[in-house]
Chain A
């Protein structure tokens, strides 16, 4: 039995080898073709790609701009959202072309950039009001800036002290990477004054919104573009963050959003940075809930 079947097995092995070699040749040629295609594709894209990194607040705007820009000019734009601080770091390390930031660069960051031969140049994209938000069932309609400051410093811990129900306030802030956090601190609390230790920290506008919308006694702050019906915006010093109020500067908690580039922008980068000045760019800014300069 064993010896009889031997020639058959030998034939099978032979055939297998033959087909294997054939498929191997096929595979290799396919691989070579793919490699060539990828190489050409990347070669074509090099110098034609914009990399944006930074603020989660500017994120939606940058993404909309990117989609529009790719469609119009055929330039690939990648957008990452890792916080304003990370944006600055990426620009300094040269890993992004444009840093999106919801705060101005700090002196230390500019010094570090200079040291690495990077010259950060700011251009303002849009204005953004920081909306103070609470749970929709919260009866409080308005707080003064001083009251908000006291809440975040931990001097006021109960809603009763500001005209609300008798419950403790759940204070929600953003993480230390956040430009929104930095500008909030600067605009409301003042520099160098620490936020209370019991403040909870969330890592994006979205998660702050989800926490505030599900927590009865929470207070948080959001970029104006992120506000929707699930949370209630309260007035600061009696003024709501409307377009007009932010534009004319009467709303006290507003800040500009920036694109930072290495040196004066030119070429494609300039085209991108100048988008907010075009009519189309202004339309997109308004649509996303940000405010034109």
Chain B
């Protein structure tokens, strides 16, 4: 008993700090917290400052020229006399290459992430992922040079065959899948076993022939296309998708990994196949992370400047017809980069401020898409947690 109390008092003595030490600790604690708070608020303040300064220089443009010309006309002649600042074609061009690169990069990136996280053995993944991430380390001017000097002439000289091969390689797996699924669905309701099998085979052959015909018909049409200029929206979309890929693959692979082994094993335990596990369990569970990856990748494509300045052709026009990716376009970022040099206050202020208006527009677009993705993530989380 005596010993115990002795030990007790010793222990308390050892852990009770002197008054001086206690105040010291308090000071350090407040200082540390203050520094962390300062760092956090500094980042927030930077964002606000960028918004403020860009908006401050953008507003005078709308005061001078009004809104309607900027958003409805595609006559972009900032250096002419009288100057015209119609940016519709430029905004359209930005959205067009962003959409194009997303169409290429998102399916490819998510598929690659699934392959990396759920299909490849661990030893291969350890090598494959860093190699994919290395794509992000290539400077954008190198991509631009590649697009201008190699891809553009290639598209001009062999554009038709390249399009045909791309069509065949990309679409034929989906066609096969579609044929199997459709003929399966059409015959499930038939109860007579023999008749069902007969019909199934009939549908398989019918739709198979149809899809082969479609593949070849569209292929020959694509083969006949002569691409007039290689510096076009397609070229830029391809290169931008390469640039967005490492982000999408890496972040969505992390999201898939975060789903955890227990959930996968639970799914297998319920008798699901690997495909069912991936599609019905892992993907929904990781969907918010994958969405974040996609948004990040798309933002990268929207904000990229050097590649589009070098390889998009920079013509301020809405392609004819509107979905024609084989014509030169111009984007917001490239216009800001290309026109900033001359556009000082000395040479006419609307010309200077219009570039800030474009910058503000880019900021607003990325802000809105961030908000939307945030909302989707929150909603997804609610659904997943069963509320």
Contacts and interface: CB of A to CB of B under 8 A. Distances in A.
A2 interface: no
Interface in A73-114: 82-83, 85-86, 89, 92, 106, 108-109, 112
Interface stretch (B114-122, B130-138, B149-157, B281-289): B149-157
A177 B338 contact: yes
Contact of A199 (B226, B315, B339, B341): B315
B341 A108 contact: no
Contact of B75 (A89, A177, A197): A197
Contacts of A145: none
Interface in B185-238: 226, 228-231
A194 B316 CA distance: 12
B153 A214 contact: yes
A92 B82 CA distance: 24
Contacts of B330: 201
Interface residues of B, number: 39
Contact of A175 (B317, B327, B339, B346): B339
Interface residues of A, number: 36
Given A177-B341, A197-B75, A200-B313, A214 B152 contact: yes
B81 A85 contact: no
B347 interface: yes
Interface of B: 74-82, 84, 89, 148-149, 152-153, 156, 226, 228-231, 309-310, 313-317, 327-328, 330, 338-339, 341-342, 344, 346-348
A167 to B, nearest CB: 7
Contacts of A202: 314
Interface in A180-195: 182, 191-192, 194-195
A167 B228 contact: yes
Contact of A86 (B79, B313, B342): B342
A217 B330 CA distance: 20
Contacts, number: 94
Contact of A200 (B77, B81, B153, B328): B328
Given A198-B315, A198-B317, A109 B346 contact: yes
A177 to B, nearest CB: 4
Contacts of A19: none
Nearest to A83: B341
A210 B315 contact: no
Contacts of B315: 197-201
B317 A210 contact: no
Given A197-B315, A200-B313, A201-B338, A108 B228 contact: no
Nearest to B76: A197
A124 B79 CA distance: 25
Contacts of A168: 228
